[in-house]
Amino acid sequence: MAIVHAQEADRRGNVQLWGIPGVQKEAVLAAKRSLVTVERIVDELEPRPGAVFLPSWVIDAVAEAPNGAYPSYAHGLTDRDNDFYKRWDTVSRDRDEFKAYMEEHVL
């Protein structure tokens, strides 16, 4: 199962992402099932030169999740919160702080 975040999908479930592509395309294509969360769903994707395109037929589900990359970012749409990353150093050292963090941000 691969879960990746992208900038946009159209109503048929095609996905387009850009910026640092990393291994997101490879993760989706290597997985048996995939979920792509996106910043926004648009009627028609406007093709961007150099963007990664994932057709709906390699994706099982698309979900709209604005700011879904937080504390990371979606290139061109949201900003990375570097201070949040730095706080992880202390959060990850202490069990209680870790549990409080999980309650607040994940669970």
Partner 1 sequence: MSDASSGEVQTIVAARHLADAESVFIGVGRPSTAAILAREIINPDLVLVYESGTIGAKPRKIPLSIGDGELAATADFVVSVPEMFNYWIQPGRIDVAFLGAAQVDPRGALNSTVIGDYDAPRTRLPGAGGAPEIARGCRRVMVVAPHSKRTFVQQLDFLTTDAQPVAVITDLGVLEPGADGVLTLTAIHPGVEVDAVRDATGWDLRVADDLTTTDPPTDAELAALQELLAR
Applying the rule CB under 8 A, the residues between 25 and 44 that interact with partner 1 are 25-26
C-alpha angle with apex 100: 106 to 77, nearest 5 degrees? 40
Give SS3 for 21.
coil
> Which of 11, 12, 23, 40 contacts partner 1 by CB under 8 A?
23
Closest contact distance (angstroms) between CB of 42 and partner 1 is: 22
Task: State which residue, 30 or 41, has the beta carbon closest to partner 1.
Answer: 30
Q: What angle in degrees, to the nearest 10, is found between the helix axes of 82-91 and 95-105? A: 140
Nearest to partner 1 of 12, 21 (CB atom): 21
